[in-house]
Structure 1
Amino acid sequence: MTLLPTLLNRRQSLALLATPALLPQRAAAAPGPALVIGQVAPLSGVLASTGQQMVLGGKICFDAVNAAGGIHGASIRHEVRDDGYKVEDTVRLTRELLARPEPVALFGFAGTANIGKLLQDGVLATGGAPLIAPYTGGEPLRTPFNPWIFHVRAGYADEAEHLVQQLSTIGVERVAVMYQDDGFGQAGLVGVREALARRGRKPIAAAPYERNTEQVESAVQAIKAADAQAVIMVAINRPAAAFIKRYRELGGGAQLYNISVINPAEIVRLAGLQNARGLGIAQVVPYPYRPMLPVVREYQRLLKAHAPQAEVNYTSFEQFLGAKVLVEGLRRAGPQPTRARVLKALESLQEWDLGGMTVSYSDANRIGSRMVEITMIGSSGRLVR
């Protein structure tokens, strides 16, 4: 059977299982020893809805693998901990996971600042386990090179370049930035500044908001006063929605964009469709709503089978892709894999096709993909391309 997750405390278990989409669908697991995968995700706090989708994306992939007999006779045991998007909890919980010999890999953490602290404190290096598919595009996690993190998504710098290129193509010159005042937001801000600088321009305003809050009034006022033609937001769901709602209520007319780490359904719910309509969102994985690619068809089929109440979502799809990368690494690592063998196996994934999206790693490269495209919230509240 699927074991989701066995070592949660009571509060964390209730946080997970309070979401119907995450209720485990009992599938027969393979006999034999378990391959333990550790995930630290924000299941409470301002990023809770995103964290739940992150866990779900991995879960449906691992459930399917276990139902099919596991990997080399071993089932996957997916252990999830809730860090509430708090850096100190990410560090503490990761240390706890890696202090045990069982986890062979880490999967799907969130937060540039959170994961950056793991690097800064040497937690990943000391533990020796690879971290696959973190839900962040922060450049400090990519440069300088570190061997521990295998990125599936493009970086925020790639997203910023794509957004600024589109704005330049349509003649937009006055671009403002609203960003979270931490490593995540700073990474996005730097990406926008560098993309604009390549075209001889600067942001006409750069307005921060405080991490783990929805206090965006000062950012709204600063950007409204700047009379921007376009605003690129480097924000998560709740503060992004608060900004959109307030900015539109004050008559702000700029075209609004956000980088990829938001849930459009959450934005519409919180900001209202009238305000959210037309929001452009950068995306770093293929469009998951139409089954045009084999991997999208697989994702939709497994979502229906293992989480029938859940809806298609970019976040769960991205983490499903990351879980597929991890599963392939586990297969290539052979029976009874160690952390070091999983890391080396992941390095062998060169030009590996997941079913319509290709990732590529090596001993000197950990950035699997640089794909970026832009979607928009349409008049019905759904994303369109």
Structure 2
Amino acid sequence: MKLWTFAAAACLAAAVPAVAAPPIVIGQVAPFSGPQAITGKAIHAGAKLYFDAVNARGGVRGRPIRLVTRDDAQKPEESVRLTRELIAAEAPLAMIGTVGTTNLDALAKDGVLVQQRVSMIGAVSGAASVAQAQGMHIVKASYHDEVGRLFSQLAGVGVRRVGLVYQDDGLGRDVLTGAEAAARKHGIELAVRSGYPRNTVAVEKAVADMVAARVQVVFLGATTAAGIEFVKQYAGAGGLGTLYGMSIIDTDALYKALGPERSRGYAFSVVLPLAQQTNRAVVREYLQLREASRDANLSARSIEGFIAAKALVKVLEGTANLTPAGVTAALAAARSIDVGGYLLDFSAADRPGSRYVDFAMFGEGGRILQ
């Protein structure tokens, strides 16, 4: 009787499937529609590329990662509402990749991340206000780092008159503040400042202002769509200044829109590793996974999401307390996260996780010169 009972129990146990490990939920509220959808989709594609690779090798301590998204259409009030909704409904361990200074500033002002002890990694902004916000971690250099390094180099080669085109919102005002400080420091005349309305491509006035001022260099503190439109119109209006775009302008999208001839000579800030920098392990890993992917949203901006996702996984793997509060504490204490030849330090409360800034330019046939 005892033998039969044991055998029956064994059969029943074999028939019951093992309980799957609960997933680790990561949330993303970003623009998947509207004027900045190209950026939201690119950041999401990069993060998903890495999370999928982690899941393919068994997840984090046997737990798969589930990336849950909401579309804020780049509206700050929606960023706040949907972040609150996602945290309440899905209980994510962390957030990732919300796009836009104004949107991130709205989240910081609302206080939902601090209240719920949920941190965000890979906040897509380089503004000082975002870098200083509690619970938000940026994986690239700040806008002030970008413009300061550029003006230093321009002064070194004798450039003295620069024009600034900026989006008239929190992003643009932060860039303007940084540009004015850098101009004073390096003896450059900021000859003209011209804004355009947020989330539009209404750059006609900015084009006219830059052409009339005959500046040597135009620095584009613009988003992707507006940046592309400015480059088109500036050339058509006879503008002769060298164009330097901020890192937030998607160079893949710009090159696709302009083609090899019109994009030639366009220079841009580099605050994350370029695809050609295969001396970095993170680039080799990214390219290998991208090659095997069919995600049409992968672009030059996607490595930002990829690096944010990889940094987050490294923190998760090294943290015993896998709760929102535990992950928040671990991120805030992280001093040296090596994602593969690219280091991040989130321990300082007043600056982004990286200070790396370089520059590149489109050369003949679309070749990127650095």
**TM-score normalised to the size of structure 1?**
0.87
Corresponding residue of 1:228: 215
User: Is residue 110–residue 136 contact of structure 1 (8 Å, CA) maintained in 2?
Assistant: yes
One-letter amino acid of the structure 1 residue matched with residue 39 of structure 2: T
1:112 and 2:101 equivalent?
A: yes
Tell me, in whole angstroms, the C-alpha distance in 2 between the residues paired with 1:125 and 1:92. 15
Q: Which residue matches 2:330?
A: 345
Supply the distance in 2 between the matched residues of 1:284 and 1:332 (Cα, whole angstroms). 26
The whole-number CA distance in structure 2 between the counterparts of 1:267 and 1:219 is 18
Question: Which secondary structure state, in structure 2, belongs to the residue aligned with residue 120 of structure 1?
Answer: helix
1:311-331 per-residue CA deviation (whole Å, 9 max, x = no partner) reads 874311121111011111211
Equivalent residue, structure 2, for 1:80:
69
Say which structure is richer in helix.
Answer: 2
Which blocks of at least 5 consecutive residues in structure 1 are unaligned? 1-29
CA distance in 2 between partners of 1:31 and 1:363 (Å): 38
Deviation sequence 1:108-161 (CA, Å, 0-9, x none): 11100100011112222222200001111011112xx33301111110000001
1:225 counterpart letter in structure 2: A
The answer for the alignment partner of 2:54 in structure 1 is: 65
Give the deviation of 1:101 after TM superposition.
5.7
Q: Pairwise CA RMSD of aligned residues?
A: 1.9
Equivalent position SS for 2:190: coil
Aligned CA distance change for structure 1 residues 383 and 52 (closer, same or farther; 3 Å): farther
Residue in 2 that maps onto 1:50: 39
User: Quick check: 1:141 aligned with 2:130?
Assistant: yes
Alignment of 1:162-311 (within 5 A): 162-305=149-292, 307-308=293-294, 310=296
Q: Does 1:319 align with 2:273?
A: no
Give the stretch that moved more between structures: 228-237 or 80-89: 80-89
| Alpha-carbon spacing, 1:172–1:366, altered in 2? closer, same or farther (3 Å) | closer
Stretch deviating more after TM superposition (170-179 or 258-267): 258-267
- Taking the aligned partners of 1:89 and 1:259, their CA distance within structure 2 comes to 26
Unaligned 5+ segments in structure 2 are 1-18
In 2, distance between residues paired with 1:273 and 1:216? 22
Percentage identity across paired residues of the two chains: 39
Structure 1 equivalent of residue 12 of structure 2:
none
CA distance in 2, matches of 1:177, 1:152: 25
**Residue 271 of structure 1, CA deviation:** 3.8
SS in 1 for 2:93: strand
The CA distance in 2 between the partners of 1:314 and 1:363, in whole Å, is 28
SS at match of 2:286: helix
Secondary structure of 1:291's partner? coil
Corresponding residue of 1:14: none
Aligned residues: 352
Shift of 1:44: 1.4
Whether the 8 Å CA contact 2:164–2:192 is kept in 1: the answer is: yes
Between stretches 351-360 and 174-183, larger displacement belongs to 351-360
| AA at the equivalent of 2:30 | A
Q: How far 1:364 moved relative to its partner? A: 4.3
Q: Which of the two has higher C-alpha Rg?
A: 2
Aligned ranges for residues 329-368 of structure 1 at < 5 Å?
329-334=315-320, 337-362=322-347, 364=349, 367-368=352-353
Consecutive aligned runs of 4 or more in structure 1 exceeding 6 Å deviation: none
